[in-house]
Structure formats: structure tokens, C-alpha cells
Amino acid sequence: MTIIRSIAAFCAVMLGAAPAAVAQTFPDRPIKIVVPSAPAGGTDILARLLAGKLQEQLGASFVVENKSLSLVATDSVAKAPADGYTLLMGGLFNMVMNSALIANLSYDPNKDFTVVGYVSAYPFVALTNPGSGPSTLKDFVAYAKSKPGDLNLGTAGLGTLHQVWGAILTRSLGLDLVQVNFRGAAAAQQELMAGRIHFLFDNVSAARGFIEAGAFKALAVSATRRTRLLPDVPTINETGLVDFDGESWFAVFAPAKTPEPVLAYLRKGLAQVKAERSFIDIVERDGGRLLDTPPEKQAVFLKSEIDRWTGLVEKYRVKAE
């Protein structure tokens, strides 16, 4: 019995020492943040801002790697070693919408990843051309219902939030719009400006300049609260027409089973970045807000988002193909 107790005690010491050893040695090389999109987009800009701020706060080296194919990039991090040296700049688009839209997804957001921390969330805004007549969402709904099948819904492409949310919103409002998919939001914006499409659901920060210039008419924002960028524009819920709560959120993810001491180290750095006034100002300048979800609720939030949007995609028969 004495020998058995000695072995058990030794194992307990070794198991307890392992996390401490990890904490003392991590990181000893650069930490990579994979961005599942091309350079210069919103996800890339946020990731590079975070990488720079984390480097300042933690004194470690952070590098950003772009992989333009969202599925490939996300899957590569899911299958990376769970050592904290490969992270993902993920969000609603690849962790939730891919699950809702794609059968037999090569990765499982709930099982293959650990949330390091949620960062920020940004609302969308429902837009129309000022020359079309309607000045409120209620007016647009009445106008569209008087012309079933005659008006167009523009999107930034199949599988984008512009398409998925645009389809869910307009169908929940009982509208019959013809979906026109473009390659990117810029093309859809140009067509809305020219009056060749009649409705567009776009990111607030991307649409703000057009709204202020009078090129777009803002009808309602997608979040449950108004945005400071467009304080006079009501939320969709405020219109009383339909309930809609959507924000494009971003978070840092690590492969599942990443050691807790490593996660604690990264979470500490992320919390320090999010407390910086300069970081807060940049997020708010773009119409966003900081997300502060404690670790014990992070997985719950992710699952709830996947369940919610999967249900709506199925209910309104939204396809990404």
C-alpha cells in the first residue's frame, strides 16, 4: 500500500506540475492568428489591431496569417496542435453561419474549438435608395407588398451575412423580393446607389458614409439597441413589424484542449487590450461595441447562436448555393 500511495502521490505532483511548467515556458516563439479572409477586410483589420495590441500588453510576438477560403482556414486551426501557438480570428460568419448553411462541415465549432475571448459586435442596417419613395421600414414593406416579385434584394454574395440576414428579414416580413447576388458588398452598394436594386442589408460602418451623403436611406438597424453612428435610425424591433436581433460578432478561438494556463495567459492579454481606451475608441468608431462574456458562458453563447441561426435558416429556407 505504501508503494501504491507513493506512486499516486508522484503522479499527482507531476500532473499538477505540468500546467505550471506550460505557464512558465509559454510562449517561446511567435503566436499565429489565422484570419479566414483576404487582407484589408474587416476581419483582417481587427485581427491585425488585436495582434499589435496583444504584443504590446504581453511582450510576446504575434503574427497574422491570411487564408482567403473561410472553410479551409477554420479547419486548419481546428486540426492544429492545441498548444496556443495557432489561434483563429473567428466570428458569426464562419463559426455559426457555416454550421447553419453547410451540411457535413469539416469542423465542429462546439467541439473542435475553445473560445479564448469574444471581442466586439457590429450591427447591420437595412437600406434602400432614397429615390424609391419609402422613408421608413414600414413604408418599404407596404411598397414592396404592392409590387410582389418586382423589387430586388441585393447581397454581397451567397453565404454572406448580407444574403442570409437579408433573406431572413425580408421573408419574415412577408416580402417577395428577387435576390441578386454580387461578388462583394461594394458592387451591391453601387447597384443600390444606381437604383437597380431596392433593398440591401449592410454593415453599419460600411454604409454610414453613403447614408450621410444622401446616397442611401437607412430604414432600421439589426441590433436590439440603436447605434451611435446612426442615432436617429430605429432598431428593427422598434418598428413593431417583426423581431430581429443580429450583430456580426468576432472572437479569438484556440483548438480544443488547449491547456488552461495558456488560455489564462491569452485571456489576460485580451482583457487588457479591451480595457484600452484607444482600442475601445476604434471599435466604437466603426459602430461596434465590446463583448465581455466570462469564460464559463462562452461555449454556451456559441451554441445558442448556432442553434438560433440554424433554426431561422431552416424556417425561412435560406440556401447558400
Model confidence pLDDT, tens digit, residues 78-101: 999 999 999 999 999 999 999 999
- Please name the amino acid found at residue 197: I
Confidence check: pLDDT of 33 > 60: yes
pLDDT level of residue 2 (50, 70, 90 thresholds): low
Say yes or no to pLDDT of 315 above 50. Answer: yes
CATH 3.40.190.10-classified regions of the chain: 123-239
Burial of 128 (0-12, 13-18, 19+ CB in 10 A): buried
| Pairwise pLDDT comparison (66 vs 15), residue with the higher score | 66
- Which candidate, 32, 219, 58, 24, places its Cα nearest to that of 127? 219
pLDDT tier at 3, thresholds 50, 70, 90:
low
Banded model confidence at residue 133, pLDDT cuts 50, 70, 90: confident
Provide the pLDDT for residue 23: 54
CA–CA distances in Å: residue 261 to residues 17, 70, 122, 211, 246: 11, 29, 30, 47, 33
pLDDT score for 132: 86
3-state SS class at 50: helix
Decide if pLDDT at 69 tops 70: yes
Give the per-residue pLDDT at 251. 98
Among 88, 97, 120, residue whose Cα is nearest residue 249: 120
- Spatial separation of the C-alpha atoms in residues 302 and 91, rounded to whole Å: 10
Annotation: CATH topology of 123-239: D-Maltodextrin-Binding Protein; domain 2 (3.40.190)
Task: Look up residue 244 and give its three cell numbers.
Answer: 430581429
Q: Which residues are paired to 34 by β-bridges?
A: 65, 88
Asked if 214 contacts 226 with a C-beta cutoff of 8 angstroms, the reply is no
Closest among 143, 93, 25 to 251, alpha carbons compared: 93
Residues in the chain: 321
CATH number of 32-121+247-315: 3.40.190.150
The whole-number pLDDT of residue 178 equals 95
Range with the lowest mean pLDDT among 49-58, 126-135, 235-244?
A: 126-135
- CATH 3.40.190.150 residue ranges for the chain: 32-121+247-315
At 244, phi and psi to the nearest 5? Answer: -150, 125
Q: In which element (H, E) is residue 254 found? A: strand 247-255
Q: Check if the beta carbon of residue 263 is closer than 8 Å to that of residue 269.
A: no
